[in-house]
Amino acid sequence: MAKIVLMSDDDGLRRDLRKLVRERGHSMREQPALGLSQANCLCPREPLDAAFLDLSTNGDGGLAVVALARSRMPGIRIAVIDGGRGCDSLNRLARAVSLGADDFMKKPIEVSDAADVLERLGL
C-alpha cells in the first residue's frame, strides 16, 4: 500500500482522486491548500510514496513545494496538476519537471487520466 498526499483546493479533484487511490488499495492524505506553510505534510513520521501537487492553487508557489518535496524525500514520486492556459501554464509545468516532478496532468482531469499517471508512477 502506497502513501500518497494530494495538495489541492479543488474539492472535485480531491474527491475523484481519493476514490481512485483507495480503490487501488493505497492511502491518501489531503491538504486543501498548497504553499510552503502547508508543506509540513511533506514531512510525516513515515515517508510518502507519492504526491499530487495542484500548481493552480498558488501559481508559482507550488513550484517551491515541488523543490521542497524532492529535497526532503528524494525517492518520492511527484505528479503536478495545472489548470492554467497558454504559455504560462506550459512554462510552469516545464519548470516543475525541471525541479523534480515525475509527471503532470492538465485540468480538467478525467479519472482515466489520473489512473494513467498512477500507473506511470508505479502505483
CB-based contacts of 52: which residues, under 8 Å, 6+ apart?
4, 5, 6, 7, 8, 17, 79, 80, 81
Question: What single letter denotes the amino acid at residue 69?
Answer: A
Topology (CATH) of 3-120: Rossmann fold (3.40.50)
Percent of the chain exceeding pLDDT 70 equals: 86
Q: Is the dihedral of CA 37, 90, 100, 83 positive or negative?
A: positive
Please, which pLDDT band fits residue 60 given cuts at 50, 70 and 90? low
Q: Which of 89, 85, 80 is nearest to 13 (CA)?
A: 80
Residue 38 above 90 pLDDT?
A: no
- Taking the C-alpha atoms of residue 12 and residue 27, their distance in angstroms, rounded to an integer, is 18
Domain ranges of the chain: 3-120
pTM of the model: 0.88
For cell 488499495, what's the residue? 25
pLDDT tens readout for residues 65-102: 888 888 888 899 999 998 877 778 888 889 999 999 99
Q: What are phi and psi of 79, to 5 degrees?
A: -120, 130
